[in-house]
């Protein structure tokens, strides 16, 4: 089957293209990008006034399968991704069991092939069971298709284990994704520490819980030469640490989430548990620093840390609710609203952070660009389309979004995966 | 004019006018408590429910008597388990009480924000009787009532709050109330028990009790929760008591006519010396009486009452 995406503005930074052009897809690959391609029997997608970009890749997603299927499954999570304009997601290994060996990586891949609406790239655990004690079979997981390693959600407190993991992962060229959080400094905190935690009477989490760990891991990356990727960076201090590390030539990349550049700690005052997330929503100064980090290139990637939970788990007092926000279906709208329209990021830079850089960091061949022969993973965005976020219309099984009721402008209207349309006009079509 | 609000969740949300109205309404209520027959029909036919997720004899009894003196039907529900353990959500519990006819739900909970969840989902009035270390608005109201009664005013007074400021809802509510009413508020605690950015609430923070008590009009002593020491926030109870205990000698640093207050229950010999607790400057028992009057005023104003003299006659 052939597809012709007609009349859109193609934004493909890898190939230096940012102009009106048609894109022809055949047999799952890009077969031409040019002016006025004849339809010649291809299914035509009208894209006038829209952006046609290499499929977005969310490199930080919790699909919850296996083990927590009440929260999300590979089927529902990948549909949420499709609706959010993502043609691929990398899923974190903190499932039950933890994805820490070859067979489990295979399991994710086979479930994704059977049930998934978009590409799924498994991330393996750093340590067995993510217990932080012994290294998992990282080399074998790489052979099975793991694209990175991480103990996300279970921070690796033992610096020696992290050092060994970095030395070891470096042999395979795998990035080590660090959820930077010193659990002792967190000390039962549930929100950002500062004026608002004092006013709301909630235990605070100091910025230092993240920054101390980011500093440690950056120094370990310098020592070992490994590739450190700092997950969900949330404080001004961490952004500065990454900026300095890059200046020194240390191999470090970083990601930020839409909620960390769109919301401040102040919203926690509603005691709405949809605002409870880890790392916590930070101060206005931190939000500014994260945006500046995105603007100046310190932060390479926008990733959602999509963290689904059931309504029942979240419908409790603030202290007792699990941490996490679902992000797949609001990310593009928030990025347009907070970053692109205010002029912090050009559309080209947005494509770098949501497609090109994630593909590079995870080593995904044929992804992140629209050159002839590349995989036909494509996102079409209507930068003017408005929609009020309604969690009840999410394709995700979960509803824990603090953006419910927000009006977003700039939304994905078509998601194509390997030449197949999986979302069109905001509706899932698989 | 009654209070133009459904709930009382915190002092932070109250205007100066609202605080004044509550304090003024509490005055005639106090007269009722002094009568031989302590009963007025004002809240007849109203159902008032005490929903206590934390043990508290004092506050619960105070609310219960406040309701009974005004002829409301008062019911106590005490449960020490959180909704997580109990298996029913706070929202469901509240909804159940409402469909049984509750007009006012008074909630005490160890989790900050629990009253807000309830208030959002109920059309009944919700009164916060203490949530986590967020607010304890009726305690602050009774404290302000007591100070005003003794000193004739709040404006311009220097009030020192001593103790575990970090985890104290009493401190937070008093800080909001007293600063709104024009008092100068100081907080005194070891550095590990001072909340982050506390001075942004408009108070001055001291780690030396001697400096902090200098020339104050009111010494407000907080109860030290003994589990704080187990969390390592200070070395020993003994050292705390030695450095921060309110002794007669330290009270002499305050103004000679300074009041000594405590929200109770007291750890005698730890945060407050027995001779201070029983001394002439202590108004701790009056605080308890005034607590009933202030809670009567609140129940009256939240259920639509206007002129306080109507309530009394
Ligand atoms: Zn994480």
Segments of chain A assigned to CATH 3.20.20.140:
55-362
In chain A, pLDDT over 90 holds for what percent of residues? 99
Q: What share of chain A is helix, strand, coil (3-state, %, to 5)?
A: 35, 25, 40
Residue in the structure block whose two tokens are 């404290």: B143
CA of A119 to the centre of ligand 1 (A): 21
Rounded CA separation A53/A70 (Å): 33
Q: Is the peptide bond before A279 cis (omega within 30 degrees of 0)?
A: yes
Give me the mean pLDDT over the A189-197 stretch. 98
Q: Quote the strand ranges of A268-397, DSSP E.
A: 301-302, 378-388
The pLDDT score that the predictor gives to residue B79 is 81
Q: Choose the catalytic residue: B38, B58, B120, B242.
A: B58
CATH code for residues A2-51+374-428: 2.30.40.10
Three-point CA angle A367, A373, A377, nearest 5°: 40
Question: Residue B226: pLDDT above 60?
Answer: yes
ipTM comes to 0.94
Query: φ and ψ at A54, to 5 degrees?
Result: -60, 140
- pLDDT of A33-73, one tens digit each? 999 999 999 999 999 999 999 999 999 999 999 999 999 99
B199: nearest CA in chain A?
A195
Residue whose tokens read 């044929």: A366
Asked whether residue A120 carries a pLDDT value surpassing 90, the answer given is yes
* Average pLDDT rounded to a whole number, residues A233-243: 98
Residue A63: what pLDDT?
98
Give CA–CA dist A235/A232, Å, rounded.
Answer: 10
User: Please, which pLDDT band fits residue A430 given cuts at 50, 70 and 90?
Assistant: confident
Integer Cα distance of A45 and A257 in angstroms: 31
H or E stretch at B63: helix B57-69
B1 pLDDT band, cuts 50/70/90, is: low
> Using 50, 70 and 90 to split pLDDT, how confident is the model at B2?
confident
B277 in A contact zone (CB under 8 Å)? no
pLDDT cut 90: percent of chain B above it: 85
What pLDDT, on the 0 to 100 scale, is given for residue B311?
A: 59
3-state secondary structure of B247: coil
Answer whether B205 touches A (CB < 8 Å).
no
Reported as a single tens digit per residue, the pLDDT across A208-232 is 999 999 999 999 999 999 999 999 9
Q: What is the mean pLDDT of residues B123-140?
A: 97
Alpha-carbon torsion, ordered A213, A216, A221, A222, to 10 deg: 150
CA gap A407, A394 in Å, rounded: 15
From the candidates A184, A192, A197, A198, which should be mutated to test the interface with B, based on the most B CB atoms within 10 A? A198
Convert the pLDDT of each residue in B41-70 to its tens digit. 999 999 999 999 998 889 999 999 999 999
For this structure, is B223 an active site residue?
no
User: B29 CA to chain A: closest CA distance, Å?
Assistant: 31
pLDDT at position B267 is 95
Residue B163's nearest CA partner among B252, B58, B250 is B250
| Residues B112, A204: C-beta atoms closer than 8 Å | no
Ligand 1 centroid – CA B229 distance (Å): 31
Cβ-contact A42, A6 below 8 angstroms: no
Report the percent of chain A where pLDDT is more than 70. 100
The reported pLDDT for the residue numbered A352 is 98
In which band, very low, low, confident or very high, does the pLDDT at A198 lie, cut at 50, 70 and 90? very high
Start-end ranges of CATH 2.30.40.10 in chain A? Answer: 2-51+374-428
Show residues of chain B in contact with A316, CB under 8 Å: 83-84, 89-90
Token look-up 């000679």 returns: B256
* Mean local confidence (pLDDT), A86-103: 98
**If 0-12 CB within 10 Å is exposed, 13-18 middle and 19+ buried, where does residue B4 land?**
exposed
Instruction: Grade residue B309 by pLDDT with cuts at 50, 70 and 90.
Output: low
pLDDT at B313 over 60: no
Partners of B131 on chain A (C-beta within 8 Å) are 201
pTM of the predicted model, to two decimals? 0.95
Binned at pLDDT 50, 70 and 90, residue B148 comes out as: very high
Residue range B275-284, pLDDT digits in tens: 999 999 999 9
Q: B196 and A193 in contact by Cβ < 8 A?
A: yes
Taking the CA atoms of residue A139, residue A145, residue A147 and residue A150 in that order, the dihedral angle to the nearest 10 degrees is -60
pLDDT digits (tens, 9 = 90+) for A393-424: 999 999 999 999 999 999 999 999 999 999 99
Q: Which residues contact A146 (CB under 8 A, 6 or more apart)?
A: A99, A105, A122, A123, A124, A138, A174
Contact A201 B112 (CB under 8 A): yes
Q: Edge-to-edge, what's the strand order for the sheet holding B73-78?
A: B73-78, B47-52, B104-109, B125-131
Asked if B135 and A201 come within 8 Å (Cβ–Cβ), the reply is yes
Return the pLDDT at B80: 67
Pairwise CA distance, residues B212 & B250, whole Å:
10
**Which residue in A195, A270, A315 is closest to B91 by CB distance?**
A315
Q: How far is CA B113 from CA A25, A299, B123, in A?
A: 54, 35, 17
Query: Cβ of A347: how many Cβ atoms within 10 Å?
Result: 18
Residue B85: the pLDDT is 58
d(CA A185, CA A206): 7
Backbone angles phi, psi at A325, to 5 degrees: -130, 140
- Read off the pLDDT of each residue in A74-90 and give the average, rounded to a whole number: 98
Average pLDDT over residues A79-98: 98
pLDDT of residue B86: 60
Give per-residue pLDDT as tens, B106-125: 999 999 999 999 999 999 99
Angstrom CA distances, B272 to A77, B57, B226, B261, B278, stand at 58, 21, 14, 10, 10
Give chain A's mean pLDDT.
97
Residue B78: which pLDDT band, with cuts at 50, 70 and 90?
Answer: confident
Q: What is the pLDDT of residue A16?
A: 97
Q: Kindly report, residue by residue over A124-152, the tens digit of the pLDDT.
A: 999 999 999 999 999 999 999 999 999 99
Token digits of residue B77:
């529900």
For B10, list phi and psi in degrees, rounded to 5: -170, 160
pLDDT given for residue A113 in this prediction: 98
CATH number, span A55-362: 3.20.20.140
Q: Could you give the 3-state DSSP secondary structure of residue A295?
A: helix
Instruction: Judge residue A323's burial from the number of C-beta atoms within 10 Å of its C-beta, 0-12 exposed, 13-18 middle, 19 or more buried.
Output: middle
pLDDT at A272 over 80: yes
């Amino acid at each position: 089957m052939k597809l012709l995406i007609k009349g859109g503005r193609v934004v493909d930074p890898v190939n230096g293209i940012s102009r009106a052009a048609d894109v022809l897809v055949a047999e799952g690959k890009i077969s031409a990008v040019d002016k006025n391609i004849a339809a010649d029997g291809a299914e035509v997608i009208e894209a006038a006034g829209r952006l046609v970009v290499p499929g977005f890749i969310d490199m930080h997603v919790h699909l919850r399968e296996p083990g927590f299927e009440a929260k999300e499954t590979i089927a529902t999570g990948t549909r949420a991704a499709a609706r959010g304009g993502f043609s691929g997601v990398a899923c974190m290994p903190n499932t039950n069991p933890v994805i820490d060996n070859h067979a489990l990586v295979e399991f994710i891949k086979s479930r994704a092939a059977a049930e998934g609406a978009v590409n799924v790239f498994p991330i393996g655990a750093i340590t067995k069971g993510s217990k932080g004690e012994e290294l998992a079979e990282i080399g074998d997981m790489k052979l099975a298709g793991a694209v990175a390693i991480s103990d996300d959600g279970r921070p690796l407190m033992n610096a020696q284990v992290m050092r060994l993991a970095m030395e070891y992962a470096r042999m395979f060229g795998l990035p080590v994704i660090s959820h930077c959080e010193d659990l002792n400094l967190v000390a039962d905190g549930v929100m950002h520490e500062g004026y608002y935690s004092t006013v709301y009477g909630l235990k605070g989490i100091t910025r230092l819980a993240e920054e101390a760990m980011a500093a440690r891991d950056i120094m370990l990356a310098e020592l070992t030469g490994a590739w450190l990727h700092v997950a969900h960076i949330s404080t001004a201090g961490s952004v500065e640490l990454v900026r300095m590390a890059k200046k020194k030539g240390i191999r470090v990349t970083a990601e930020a989430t839409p909620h960390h550049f769109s919301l401040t700690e102040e919203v926690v005052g509603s005691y709405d548990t949809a605002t409870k997330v880890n790392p916590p929503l930070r101060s206005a100064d931190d939000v500014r620093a994260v945006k500046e980090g995105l603007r100046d290139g310190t932060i390479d990637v926008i990733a959602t840390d999509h963290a689904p939970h059931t309504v029942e788990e979240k419908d409790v007092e603030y202290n007792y609710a699990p941490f996490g926000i679902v992000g797949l279906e609001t990310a593009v709208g928030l990025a347009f609203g907070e970053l692109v329209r205010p002029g912090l990021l050009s559309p080209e830079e947005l494509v770098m952070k949501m497609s090109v850089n994630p593909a590079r960091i995870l080593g995904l061949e044929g992804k992140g660009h629209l050159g002839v022969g590349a995989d036909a993973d494509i996102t079409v965005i209507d930068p003017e389309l408005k929609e009020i976020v309604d969690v009840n219309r999410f394709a995700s099984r979960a509803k824990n979004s603090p953006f419910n009721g927000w009006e977003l402008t700039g939304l994905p209207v078509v998601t194509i995966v390997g030449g197949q349309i999986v979302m069109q006009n905001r509706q899932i079509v698989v | 004019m009654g209070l133009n609000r459904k709930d009382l969740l915190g002092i932070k949300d109250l205007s100066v006018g609202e605080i004044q109205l509550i304090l003024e309404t509490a005055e005639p209520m106090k007269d009722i408590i002094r009568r031989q027959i302590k009963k007025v029909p004002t809240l007849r036919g109203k159902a008032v429910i005490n929903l206590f997720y934390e043990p508290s004899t004092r506050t619960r009894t105070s609310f219960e008597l406040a309701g009974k003196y005004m002829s409301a039907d008062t019911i106590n529900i005490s449960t020490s388990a959180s909704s997580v353990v109990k298996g029913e959500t706070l929202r469901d519990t509240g909804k159940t009480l409402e469909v049984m006819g509750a007009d006012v739900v008074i909630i005490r909970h160890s989790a900050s924000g629990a009253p807000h969840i309830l208030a959002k989902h109920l059309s009944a009035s919700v009164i916060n009787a203490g949530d986590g270390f967020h607010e304890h608005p009726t305690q602050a109201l009774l404290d302000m009532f007591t100070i005003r009664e003794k000193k004739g005013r709040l404006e311009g007074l220097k009030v020192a709050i001593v103790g575990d400021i970090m985890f104290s809802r009493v401190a937070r509510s008093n800080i909001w109330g007293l600063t709104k009413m024009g008092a100068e508020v100081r907080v005194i605690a070891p550095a590990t028990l001072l909340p982050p950015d506390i001075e942004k609430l408009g108070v001055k923070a001291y780690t030396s009790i001697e400096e902090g008590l200098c020339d104050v009009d009111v010494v407000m002593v907080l109860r030290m929760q003994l589990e704080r020491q187990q969390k390592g926030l200070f070395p020993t109870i003994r050292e705390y008591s030695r450095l921060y205990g309110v002794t007669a000698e330290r009270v002499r640093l305050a103004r000679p006519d300074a009041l000594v207050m405590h929200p109770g229950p007291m750890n005698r010999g730890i945060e407050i010396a027995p001779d201070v607790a029983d001394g002439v400057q202590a108004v701790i028992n009056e605080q308890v009486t005034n607590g009933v009057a202030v809670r009567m005023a609140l129940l009256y104003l939240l259920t639509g009452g206007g002129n306080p003299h109507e309530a009394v006659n």
